[in-house]
Structure 1
Amino acid sequence: MEPAAATSYPVARDAPPRPAPHTAQLGQGRPRGDWGRWALLAVVLLLLAGSFAWGVYRSRHRPRNLAFIIVTYYLVALLYCCLAKLNLLRRDDPAAAPERWRVRMAVWGVSVALANTIAGRVADAMPNAGLKIAVWVLTCVGIGAGFYFFFVREGAGRRTTDGRALHEVSPEQRV
C-alpha cells in the first residue's frame, strides 16, 4: 500500500505573474478583455448611423437639408478617424513628430469645418441679426480657444504641465 503523500493529487500553486499592460501603439493590437469599450463603440456607431439614415429619409425632398446631414456625418466620421490616428501615434517618439504634426493639422481643419458647418446652420435658424452674430462670435471664440490649446500654448501636445517630457514621467505620476 502506498503512503497518502505519494498519491498524485493536484497541488495548488501560485498563479503565474500577469504581464504589464501595454499602451496602444502602432502595430499592436488592443489588449484582450476590452469588449466593453468595443460594445460601447458599436452602440454609438449604430445610433449615429441610425440618426443619419433617419435624417436622410426626412430631408430627402429638401436638398439643402440633405447636403447638411451628409456633410456633417462625413465630417464627424473623418474627425473620429483623425483622432484615432492621433491617439495611436506616440508622443515620445521623435520619428513620429512630423506625422503627429500633420495629423494634428488635419484634426484642426476638420474641427473648424465641422464647427462652421453647424454654426452656419444654427445661425440661419436664428430669428434676428443679433442672435446670428452671437452664434458666429461664440463659434469664433471656440475655434480660437481650440487653436490656442492645440497649437500655441507652450508645449502643446508635447510636454506635461511641469515642463518635463512625457516619457520622463513615471506611470504613477501620469495617473
Structure 2
Amino acid sequence: MEPSPSAATSSYPVAREPPPRPPPQTAQLGQGPAQPGWKSWALWVFLSVLITSGFAWGVYRARHNPRNLAFVITTYYLLAVLYCCLAKLDALRRDDPARRRVRLAVWAVSVAMASTIAWRFADSMPYLALKIAVWVLTAVAIVLAYYFFFARGADGAGRRPEVALHEVSPEQRV
C-alpha cells in the first residue's frame, strides 16, 4: 500500500539541518577586530591632541625644575608605551602564545606608571600617615590589577568553555 500524497506532506514541523554558520572573525596581527568609522578616528585624534597638548603645557611649566620635568616626561613616555602595548594586545589572537608576554608587559608598564604617580603624590603629602596611605592604596590597586589580569584570566581562563547550541542537551537549553 502506497502512502497518499497528503500523508507525505505533514503539518507538523520537520527537523532540518541548521543553516551553515559563518566562520568566526578573529583578529589577525596587524588587522583590528573591525574597521572603525571616521567618528572613532576623530575621537582618537582629539584625545591624542588633548594628551599631547597637556604634556606640552606640563613641560612648559616644569622647564625650570628638573624633577618636575622628569616626572612629566616619564609619565608621558609610560602612557605612550602603555598605549602601544594595549594596541599590540588587541591585535593578537586569543590563542597566540605571545599574548601572555604582551599582557605581562602591559601589567609591568601599568605598575611603573602607578609607582611613578604614587611616588609623586606621596612626596607632596605633608604627613607620614598620608604618604603611607598613598603607597598602600597603590599596592592594593597593583595587586587587584594582577588578580584580574593574570590570576582570574583576562582571556577567559577559569570560565567554562563555550559549547555550540546543537551540542547542548534540551535540558540545558532551558
The TM-score bracket by the shorter chain reads 0.7 to 0.9
Q: In terms of Rg, which structure is larger?
A: 2
Matches within 5 A, 1:27-66: 27-28=30-31, 31-32=34-35, 34-66=37-69
The residue aligned with 1:130 is: 129
RMSD of aligned residue pairs (Cα, Å): 2.4
TM-score (norm 2): 0.74
Give the partner amino acid of 2:129.
Answer: G
| Cα deviation digits, residues 139-173 of structure 1 (max 9, x gap) | 000000011111112xx0232774116xx578xxx
Q: Deviations over 1:29-54 (max 9, x none)?
A: 67556111110000000001000001
Which residue is equivalent to 1:83?
A: 86
TM-score (norm 1): 0.74
5+ long unaligned stretches in structure 2: 1-21, 166-174
Identical positions, percent: 58
Q: Which residue of 1 aligns with 2:141?
A: 142
Q: Which consecutive residues of structure 1, in runs of 5 or more, have no partner in the other structure?
A: 1-18, 171-175
Q: Give the match for residue 105 of structure 1.
A: 104
Secondary structure at 2:70 match in 1: helix
Is 1:159 aligned to residue 162 of structure 2? no
For residue 113 of structure 1, give the secondary structure of its aligned residue in structure 2.
helix
Contact kept, 8 Å, 2:59 with 2:69, in 1: the verdict is yes
Aligned residues: 144
Task: Work out whether residues 22 and 31 of structure 1, in 8 Å CA contact, stay in contact via their aligned partners in 2.
Answer: no
